Structure 1
Amino acid sequence: MPRFVALLRGINVGGNTMLKMSDLKPCLERAGLDNVVTYINSGNIGFDSDRSESDLIGVAEAAIATEFERQVPVMIRSRSDVVRIISANPFDGEFESHKEMHVLFLKDEMPLDKQQQLIEAATPPERFAIVGREIYCHLPMGVADSLLGKSYIEKKLKLAVTARNWRTVQKLVEL
């Protein structure tokens, strides 16, 4: 059976939308996901399923809404997607720490006009590269002063994303 990861947006960050992983795991198991495991407390869940990605998004979002009475956007990637994401990093070898490197996960590919807006808005030394449904972010000065930290992508470009630092992205393949 194929292996997937679910990436929940905006949970357990800054005291907002608190969901315990120990509660989320059985919730998703009851929704029909197999071999559910979690990684850290920020909404990273590995599981097995023979359903399609779009079905899995619906299942996970509905289960969370029903059980926790919260609307939480969920991005799904297959294990092979995560392997591809790691190997396709356009900034590989160009960052000193996992803290400088982030990946933003989108549900759908980013429209070309919004890609151009993001690239043009970047302030050196921050760099962005859009590959499929991911945005690779090299942020040598950290997140706080970057477009990511200023919520530019969600507020200005109006795109729902969920971000993971490079260490977490690398751990996702193990889930």
Structure 2
Amino acid sequence: MCESVGFTNVRTYIASGNVVFDSKLAEASVKSRLERCLKAYAGKPVGVAVRTSAELAQILAANPFKSAPANRTVAIFLDAPPPADALAHASGQRDEEMALGTREIYVHYNNGMADTKLKIPAAKTGTARNMNTVAKLVEMANE
């Protein structure tokens, strides 16, 4: 799919929609091309989050929960900066820790995500990746 719209050096990582590729197009063009292809394939809209290799590296570096296990800390990727009051509107918080990023919301799930009741309305249309995945994508993007 990525190659069909002109992207090169395409590589995927695990079966959860992680794709690394080269493109000279602007983010909006990359996003719209992928979303059109995915809609044609799936028969319904599928959102896409796009980040450059430098942005992924910055997301990893800015992780406010670096001392926490990487598999229990996620970056929820958003299309735009989260509202300043995004965390105030979260509900169901127990022992989770949250922080705002540039176009991400970071969440550390102290006891894992399996039983969480946390809901963050500002993250409704986002997609989450744990820090192990972000680190692997940074590595792949720099190859």
- Encode CA deviations 1:76-127: one digit per residue, 9 max, x unaligned: 000000110111111112x1x3222111101111122323223xx4634210
Map of 1:53 onto structure 2: 27
Name the aligned partner's letter for residue 39 of structure 1: Y
Pairs aligned (count)? 140
Map of 1:136 onto structure 2: 106
Tell me the TM-score normalised to structure 2 length: 0.88
Q: Would you say 1:36 and 2:10 are equivalent positions?
A: yes
Q: Which has the higher strand share?
A: 1
- Encode CA deviations 1:65-84: one digit per residue, 9 max, x unaligned: 22343321000000000110
Q: Which runs of 4+ in 1 moved over 4 A?
A: none
- Encode CA deviations 1:40-79: one digit per residue, 9 max, x unaligned: 0000000101111111110110112223433210000000
Whole-Å separation in 2 of the counterparts to 1:122 and 1:109: 22
Q: Identity of aligned pairs, percent?
A: 35
Give the match's secondary structure for 1:107.
coil
Map of 2:70 onto structure 1: 98
Name the aligned partner's letter for residue 170 of structure 1: A
Map of 2:49 onto structure 1: 75
- Encode CA deviations 1:143-169: one digit per residue, 9 max, x unaligned: 122245xxx23xx44730101111111
2:63 to 89, 105, 108: 89
Q: Is the 8 A contact 1:34 1:48 kept in 2?
A: yes
Whole-Å separation in 1 of the counterparts to 2:122 and 2:76: 14
Map of 1:161 onto structure 2: 126
Whole-Å separation in 1 of the counterparts to 2:96 and 2:3: 40
How much is the aligned-residue C-alpha RMSD, in angstroms? 1.8
Please list, as runs of the form range in 1=range in 2, the aligned pairs for 1:6-17 lying within 5 A after superposition. Answer: none
Gaps of 5+ in 1: 1-26
Q: Is the 8 A contact 1:127 1:137 kept in 2?
A: yes
Whole-Å separation in 2 of the counterparts to 1:99 and 1:122: 21
Give the match's secondary structure for 1:76.
coil
Q: Would you say 1:114 and 2:86 are equivalent positions?
A: yes
Q: Is the 8 A contact 2:83 2:122 kept in 1?
A: no
Gaps of 5+ in 2: none
